[in-house]
Structure 1
Amino acid sequence: MPRIDRYILRQLLVSLFAVTVGLAALVWLTQSLRFIELVLDRGLSLAVFVELTSLMLPSFFAVILPITTFVVALFCYIRLAADRELVVMRAAGLSQWRLSRPVLALALLSTLLCYGLNLWLVPISHTAFRTWQYEIRNQMAAILLQEGVFSSVGGDLTVYARRRDRDGTLHGILVHDARDRGNPVTILAEAGRIASTPQGPRVTLINGVRQQVERVAPPAGSPPGTPATSRLSSLSFAENTVDLARATRSEETRNRDSRERSLDELFNPDPAERLPQRDIDKYRAEGHQRLSAPLTAISFAMVALAVSLTGGFRRHGGALRIAAGVLIVVGLLALGLAVGNLAAKRPTLIPLIWLHAIAPGLVAAWWVAGAPGVPRRAPRRPQPSAGFAGTAPGAESAVQGGRSGVTAMGRA
């Protein structure tokens, strides 16, 4: 590799590493704030918190890497132009594509990394993340209960505790259990305590009342169409046990979301799952997005080259070029979100996903090449100087000869 390419590529790689890691750390910090309460208020260990939140990093890198490739390429080449280094390189005979080689090498590296993340690491990490969430909801349900808050354990069990002691004892407990469809149960208890068992967490209630609404079928001999009636039954108890793990048992057979599935599962879902057509269309759109999204790294890099390498040299033109490049990429990102949502609903629009990933790069490459095929204005011919306007060619020559003679006499 020539020395100039190594010089530019070294700057690009160092900047890409710093910007990508810094931006990923910022996104990780903002996203992990929703889990910090599990550590501060609910007793979750710091190791579990770090492991849980670190599983989100691969998906962050897969999204951030094309954007940071554009940012690094744009700012590095704008800086080279501001330091007159691009002027010197062009004066040495380097063409536009010769100057573009380091950025293209960087974009190719980013594309390969994105493919590795999208096709392998992101599904694994997202599956592990969802597994941790399931374990926290079921095996660590005691952590989710907070005093003075109606805590939802699963989708159909709600627990409220007025006060919680340091040893974990709960006071003033209300449990609303709607797991039995049509026969909801409400339990009020003075105190209780949560214990972990091999089958999952259970709460033991002391001195309470169990109220249940039961549907009673109409008596025999009633006219047809007689609706069933409801009856409230109340039972006082000294001790009762409620199984919290059953609240989310239905999620053991839940369908995995699209980010947990491999590429083969997205394009060829198992018929035994009996997925609705809406989910099948969504999975296929997700598969095409996984294959096409890494190509945006090359397209964004080409946009950066089109903005920073084209146009005339200007002493203070960097800010305008940076603003133009940023606006173009922000518009492409917004368009990508819209195209992805439309393709998930209408499979006939899936080719737009590939068009969005490839077309900007092709247009930018055409622009870097000088926009061939676009008619250009002929350069203006230089106008004669004002001193000889309207003078015949012979007279002009005579005047010039007279001036040269006067100059020679002066020298003598």
Structure 2
Amino acid sequence: MSKFDRYLLSQLLQLFGFFSLVLVAVYWVNRAVGLFDQLIGDGQSALVFLEFSVLTLPNVIRLVLPVSAFAATVYVINRLMQESELVVMQATGFSAFRLARPVLYFGVIVMAAQSVLVHVLVPASQRILTDRSAEISQNLTSRFLMAGQFMHPSSGITLYIREVNTNGELIDLFLADERGADARVTYTARRALLVQGDAAPKLLMFDGAAQSLSRKDQRMSVTRFADFTLDLSELINAGGRGGLTLDELSTANLLHPTDELLQATGGNEAQFLQEGHNRISGPLLAVAAPLIGIAALLLGGFSRFGLWRQMGLAVVLLILMQMVNTWAGGVAMQSARAWPLTYLAPVAGVVVAVALLWLAQRPKRRREAMS
């Protein structure tokens, strides 16, 4: 690698790190707000929130890498053009394709990093995140058993606990079930314990009463008990892991789906193939985006007013490439034979970049194109 390639590559990597950090922070804060409300509102600790935030980071980083690579390329090339460094290199005989070579190296590096994310880190983090979500959703103590406030674990259910002591014992419990069409049932108990049953949690109540109010004749019957066990499977949705999602599966499983996986996820072959090939084509966008950035900027020469028109063209081309990628993904999900369309956006991006680089080497054609 020549000194020029190393110099430009080092500039690109430095700015890429900066833009990645900024964009990841913006994406993460946006998602963390909703995650914070959900977890803290359910009574989870700050450590659980931190754990979930870390598990969402690989997917966030995967989304921002191509944009960060594009932004870094446009910023660096514009600055070098303003400082006449690229103008000097062009004067020494460097063609547009030669100037784009370190950008290609840069895109390959970003593509390799994104490939590790989409094939390894993101599926692994999604599996752990799904398992932890199911585990927490089954933890009724942290979700619903908060002392001193009325809670509604599900529609028609009202729960109040005066105190939860250090042993996990519930003191002065009130539970009202208004879902019945014939009667409204209210349970009260001086003490209660929540235990995990074979299929669902059970509530053990001591020294209490069950009051049943008939809706038809408004008659109330009271049954006092020393101890009583209430199955919570029909009262509270404790959640569960549920089925598999495509995000959790390996790329090999997506490209070669079995009947068992199709049944477990509830998906079809087209969805599997689209997701699998999208994991391969997605990192290719990290190569196409920087090439589009440098190709569009090389259409212009040195100008004290900057390369705003060229930068605008680069942004428009990036948006169009993303629109093509979104459209192709939607079509590929409809038919198992349409999976080659997932490669349309990166291939088209590279073709457009090559065409712009070819145009940038011809000053007369370039002036006509930009006029």
Q: 1:83 to 1:240 in 2, by over 3 A?
A: farther
Q: Which residue of 1 aligns with 2:153?
A: 151
Equivalent position of 1:258 in the other structure: 246
The whole-number CA distance in structure 2 between the counterparts of 1:84 and 1:14 is 20
Pick aligned residue for 1:300 from 277, 289, 293: 289
User: SS of the counterpart of 2:194?
Assistant: strand
Question: Contact (CA 8 Å) 2:81, 2:301: kept in 1 or not?
Answer: no
- In the alignment, the residues of structure 2 paired with residue 337 and residue 141 of structure 1 have an alpha-carbon distance, to the nearest angstrom, of 40
TM-superposition CA deviations, 1:9-65 (whole Å, max 9, x none):
111111111211221122112212223236645442222221122101111111111
Matched-pair contact (CA < 8 Å) for 1:16–1:72:
yes
Residue 280 (structure 1) shift:
2.6
How many angstroms apart in 2 are the aligned matches of 1:160 and 1:40? 20
The DSSP-based 3-state class of the residue aligned with 2:186 is strand
> 1:190 and 1:10, CA in 2 relative to 1: closer, same or farther beyond 3 A?
same
Match of 1:188 in 2: 186
- 1:3 pairs with 2:19: no
Stretch of structure 1 that moved more, 259-268 or 169-178 = 169-178
Partner of residue 346, structure 2: 357
Give the TM-score of the pair, scaled to structure 2.
0.80
- TM-score, normalised by the number of residues in structure 1: 0.73
3-state SS of 1:345 partner: coil
Provide closer, same or farther for how the CA distance between residues 163 and 103 of structure 1 changes in structure 2, counting only shifts above 3 A. same
Closer, same or farther in 2 for the Cα pair 1:73/1:376, shift >3 Å? closer
In the alignment, is residue 287 of structure 1 matched against residue 285 of structure 2?
no
Contact 1:82 1:315 in 2 (8 A): yes
Instruction: Return the letter of the residue paired with 1:257.
Output: T
Q: For residue 114 of structure 1, report the CA deviation from its aligned partner.
A: 1.1
1:337 and 2:326 correspond = yes
Distance 1:87 1:272, change over 3 A: closer
Q: For residue 86 of structure 1, what is the amino acid of its counterpart?
A: L
Give the aligned partner of residue 210 of structure 2. 208
Compute the RMSD of aligned alpha carbons: 3.7
Shift of residue 322, structure 1, vs aligned partner:
2.2
Q: Residues 69 and 300 of structure 1 are in contact (CA less than 8 Å); yes or no, is this contact kept in structure 2?
A: yes
Taking a change above 3 Å as real, the CA distance of residues 318 and 347 of structure 1, as seen in their structure-2 partners, is same
Instruction: Decide whether aligned partners of structure 1 residues 94 and 60 sit closer, same or farther in structure 2, where only a CA change above 3 A counts.
Output: same
**C-alpha separation between the residues in 2 aligned to 1:113 and 1:133?**
27
The residue identity in structure 1 corresponding to 2:256 is N
Task: Tell me, yes or no, if structure 1 residue 318 matches structure 2 residue 307.
Answer: yes
**Aligned partners of 2:271 and 2:334 also within 8 Å:** yes
Q: Does 1:160 align with 2:158?
A: yes
Structure 1 gaps of 5+ residues are 213-233, 380-412
* SS in structure 1 at match of 2:305: coil
Matched position secondary structure for 1:104? helix
In the alignment, structure 1 residue 118 sits paired with structure 2 residue 118: yes
| Structure 2 CA distance for aligned equivalents of residues 301 and 184 of structure 1 | 68
Deviation string 1:319-363 (CA, Å, 9 cap, x unpaired) is 222222222212322332232122112233322211122111112
Which structure has the greater CA radius of gyration? 1
C-alpha distance 137-102 of structure 1, shift in aligned 2 (>3 A): same
Q: What percent identity do the matched residue pairs reach?
A: 24
Q: 1:370 aligns with which of 338, 343, 359?
A: 359
- Verify: 1:55 aligned to 2:55, yes or no: yes
User: Would you say 1:142 and 2:141 are equivalent positions?
Assistant: yes
Whole-angstrom distance in 1 between the partners of 2:315 and 2:171: 56
CA distance in 2, matches of 1:86, 1:177: 74
Deviation string for 1:53-83 (max 9, x for gaps)?
2101111111111111111101110111122
- In 2, the alpha carbon distance for the partners of 1:235 and 1:326 equals 72
Contact 1:210 1:237 in 2 (8 A): no
**In 2 relative to 1, CA 117–184 (structure 1 residues): closer, same or farther, beyond 3 Å?**
farther
Distance 1:31 1:38 in 2: 11
Equivalent position of 2:217 in the other structure: none
User: Secondary structure of the residue that 2:100 maps to in structure 1?
Assistant: helix
For residues 372 and 3 of structure 1, the distance between their equivalents in structure 2, rounded to whole angstroms, comes to 22
Q: Which residue of 1 aligns with 2:218?
A: none
User: Quick check: 1:142–1:194 contact (8 Å CA) kept in 2?
Assistant: no
5+ long unaligned stretches in structure 2: 215-220
Q: Take 2:296 and 2:70, find their aligned partners in 1: how far apart are those partners? A: 11
Please give the secondary structure, in 2, of the residue aligned with 1:207. Answer: strand
Distance 1:294 1:358, change over 3 A: same
**Is the alpha carbon distance of 1:177 and 1:21 closer, same or farther for their aligned partners in structure 2, counting shifts above 3 Å?**
farther
Looking at structure 1, the residues matched to 28 and 112 of structure 2 have their Cα atoms a distance apart, in angstroms, of 23
1:103-134 per-position Cα deviation (integer Å, ceiling 9, x unaligned):
11110001111111111111110000000100
2:175 maps to 1:173: yes
Distance 1:340 1:133 in 2: 28
CA gap of 1:336–1:160, structure 2 versus 1, over 3 A, is farther
Q: Describe the shift of the 1:294–1:378 C-alpha distance in structure 2 as closer, same or farther (beyond 3 A).
A: closer
CA distance in 2, matches of 1:143, 1:74: 49
